[in-house]
Structure formats: C-alpha cells, structure tokens
Amino acid sequence: MQYLGDLPEKLASYRFQDMVCVRRKEYVLACNWKIYVDNYLEGYHVAIVHPALARALDTSRYRTHLGRWHSLQESPLQTSQASAEHALYYFIYPNTMLNLLPGRMQTNRVVPIGARRCRVDFDYFFRADVSAETRAVDRAFADQVQAEDGAICERVQRGLASGSYTPGRLNPNQESGVWHFQELLRAAYRAAGATERAAAGMA
C-alpha cells in the first residue's frame, strides 16, 4: 500500500468493487516494452495518431501530474455534459496502466518478451449499470486506439534500430511523464549495477 500512496483514496469513487472483467485481449508488438510505455506517457501524439480520441478529449486542458511511483494524465471529455467528467490515464511504475472513464476501466500490463518484442495484456472492466451498447462501443473504440498505438510503437522501434536516430531533449510541458518514467528506470539501473559490483567485490 505504501507503493500506491494515496491512489486507493483518490480512486475510491470509481467503485472498482462493483466492476466485473468482461474481456481480455492480448497484443504482441514488435517493439521494446519501454517504447510502449514512453508512448503511453505523452499526449501530444494523440492529435496525429488518434484523431477519434482527440475529438473525444478536450486536449487544450490535457494535464500530467507526477507522484512518487505513478503519474496521471487527465483530460476533460469533449462530449460530457458534466464538467467534472474526465478521462484519467494512470501509469504505475514499472508496467501497469489504468484507463478510467465513468463506470468503466481498462487496464494495460506490458510484459517484455524480448529486446524488440512485448506483450500487452488489455482487460476491460465495467459496472453493471453500463449498457451493453456502451460496452460494445467502448471495446471497439479501444481496439482502434490500441491498433494505432501498436503501429506507431513498431515504427518507433524500427526508427531506433535504423542507426539514424539522434536523441533530443524532452519537452517539459508534454513529456514530464516520460521523464518521470525514465528517471525511475535510471535509478533502478544504478541500484542494480551497484548491487552487482558489490557482489563481485568491486564496490
């Protein structure tokens, strides 16, 4: 619970105990798992890669918030009649995502299966009061977004492997979630390296 911090309290209103898992879909992608996470953690690609999603979100008010072991991207919904309704995208380090809308949740778990391959386990949860029609629309919409994300992640992998890619600076307004994830990874790599050196008597 210390790892999750105050997330359980923040998300209590979503009534996860009233949701049931109605579907699991697995995607195997030709990209490193970290590419998928990086893609999830920035919203500026939405307008280009996900035109239908961009129409559903008020991207002018898209914001990222950082916690100790998680980050949150949130955006008001364009079609909502209630100003309090937001799409919430939580990333919990190192490989779990929660995509939240009123009455429903999708979870992503990213599993490395090679240096250039990963599997994404995608689960769908709904409250009982969400209609069958809404569930079907939601699943179809999510399938479209996942297909778009999978295609762009695989293209990024090919670009990184081409030998032509040069790293650049991260945009603090658009990529703070990416920076947060990468800093957690760097800390983990440094700790693992120190442990290995100590075990080898090199510390």
**Does residue 79 surpass a pLDDT of 80?**
no
Pairwise CA distance, residues 95 & 111, whole Å: 7
For the chain, the farthest-separated pair of C-alpha atoms sits apart, in whole angstroms, at 63
Pairwise CA distance, residues 64 & 139, whole Å: 25
User: Whole-model pTM?
Assistant: 0.91
Instruction: For residue 17, give the 3-state DSSP assignment.
Output: helix
pLDDT number for residue 102? 85
Instruction: Please provide the average confidence, as pLDDT, over all residues in the chain.
Output: 91
Architecture of the 7-162+171-184 domain? Alpha-Beta Complex (3.90)
pLDDT number for residue 203? 55
Sign for the pseudo-dihedral over CA of 169, 173, 178, 180? positive
Q: For 140-148, what is the mean pLDDT? A: 94
Instruction: Please give the torsion angle defined by the CA atoms of residues 189, 95, 184 and 39, in that order, rounded to the nearest 10 degrees.
Output: 110
pLDDT number for residue 82? 47
Give kind and range of the element (H or E) at residue 117: strand 117-127
Which residues, including other chains, have CB under 8 Å from residue 52's CB and lie 6 or more apart?
A: 141, 144, 145
Sign for the pseudo-dihedral over CA of 20, 36, 42, 147? negative
Contact 98/92 with Cβ under 8 angstroms? yes
The tokens of 93 are what?
């380090």
pLDDT number for residue 1? 57
Q: For 61-72, what is the mean pLDDT? A: 94
Instruction: Give the pLDDT band of residue 193 (cuts 50, 70, 90).
Output: confident
Pairwise CA distance, residues 162 & 131, whole Å: 47
Contact 32/112 with Cβ under 8 angstroms? yes
The tokens of 152 are what?
């762009």
pLDDT number for residue 132? 92
Pairwise CA distance, residues 129 & 114, whole Å: 40
